[in-house]
Amino acid sequence: MNLIVINYSIDIGLRELFNKRAALIFTLFFVSQVAVAQSSVVDSIWQSMPTSGTPSLVERFFLDIQKIQKQLKNSDITYAVTIGMNNAHNEQNAKYLSACYELAGDLYDANPSMQLNALFHYNRAIEYAKERKDIDQQVDVSLKMAWLYAKLHLPEKAYLLARKAENSCTDQKTAHQIPHISNYLRRIGDCYISSGKRPEGNACFQRALKTGLFSDTLEKIYNYNNWGVNLMHLNREEEAIRIFEKGIALAQRNKIEVWVGIMKGNQGWIYSNQGQLEHANTLVMHDLKASETYGDFDNASRAAQLLGKIAILQKNAPKAYYFLEYAKKLSPPIQYETSYVRLWSEYYALTQQWEQAYSYSKQAEVLLDSAIALKNNKERHRLDNLIDFLEEESEAQLQVEQAVFGQRQEQDRSMLVLIVFVLVLGTGN
């Protein structure tokens, strides 16, 4: 059976060479003719799927693809989504389709080079959720889109979606339809922060705790931690310490040591800024040990970097050197971050190695004002224009998709008529 490609993806670079509208129309109206390169890995997973059980066949297929996604190429992901969504549409079930479109969006969202495809699939999931009046899924997918917009450096779009989700969570007509509403309020707060709306984020974290409808203890701990971090960035340090204390107490009662460490590390950061270096050192050391124990090496690297900073403030050069090197060992990419390079400049200044101190200081400036940052700004504007265009054409996308599947159904009917005709001829002979 021929597979119909229902997703579209045009390389962003090509959009600069062709008129945007012409490019999209070309993609939409010729998409049914595109041949998808097959993938033996994807085929083997699909063929091994049991035909019965919960969740549904395509949902389980997408969940299995997620488990090995890092091993797959972009073409494998596209092929998997094509197989899955073609089979999902055969069911003609809005609940089934909305779940499958959301999972397909998750697959694309996890791959930075394919995130624009995720927007299309998330939009379709929301459309089917609206058809079913499923407020819970509408809020869930809207927040996934908001977070994706934030990752694409489009904070205003992220903010608008988060605001819409918050309205659903606070409207008495819809709020009762949303289980674990505190989870969503916490996620909305995170989206507000990524949009630069920190005060609104605080209000959501506070409302989430007041509502108290978290799905589990970890969600409540996330809420305490993210609220505390947001207060830190607003220079409301004493409030942040109190919020972290509540989160630490909850994590300790439930023996979730990695989060005890993380929140103690956050408190240590505050105390280091206040000059309480010994107290800060004790707290951050707890964070380092807990993060290493539970395999969170990125956070462990941050803790080691902070311990290096504390050692510099204490004028303990050997200790500073040890922890700065250890931070790089735990997570090598940290060596390209401005804050880390600046600490090396401070270390060499402490040891009066002025040439090295100057060299690292200049490196930090280069990292801060590099051509990469300028390129990202240009990309940000280009993505903004592109996504505006895609949103304007969303109705056309839906119409073409419906036409594609209608064409497929017509082909299936024609094939059925042909088979019946052949059978009748055979019987007549």
What tens-digit pLDDT sequence spans the chain (429 residues)?
333 333 333 344 434 433 444 444 334 433 433 334 456 888 888 888 876 666 688 889 999 999 999 888 888 999 999 888 988 888 777 788 899 999 999 999 998 888 889 999 999 999 999 998 898 999 999 999 999 998 888 888 889 989 988 888 888 787 787 888 999 999 999 999 988 899 999 999 999 999 898 999 999 999 999 999 999 999 999 999 999 999 999 999 999 999 999 999 999 999 999 999 999 999 999 999 999 999 999 999 999 999 999 999 999 999 999 999 999 999 998 888 888 999 999 999 999 999 998 998 888 888 776 645 545 555 555 555 555 545 544 444 445 455 545 555 566 566 666 655 555 555 555
CA angle, corner 367, sides to 315 and 268, nearest 5?
40
CA distance 92 to 105: 19
Question: Is 173 within 8 Å of 209 (Cβ atoms)?
Answer: no
Neighbours of 163 (CB within 10 A): 17
Closest-CA residue to 347 (of 329, 369, 327, 331): 327
Q: What is the pTM of this model?
A: 0.72
Question: Is 327 within 8 Å of 334 (Cβ atoms)?
Answer: yes
CA distance 198 to 196: 6
φ/ψ bin of 235: left (φ > 0), alpha (ψ from -120 to 50), beta (otherwise): left
Question: Is 122 within 8 Å of 103 (Cβ atoms)?
Answer: no
Give me the chain's average pLDDT, please. Answer: 81
Q: What is the pLDDT of residues 140-151, one digit of tens each?
A: 999 999 999 988
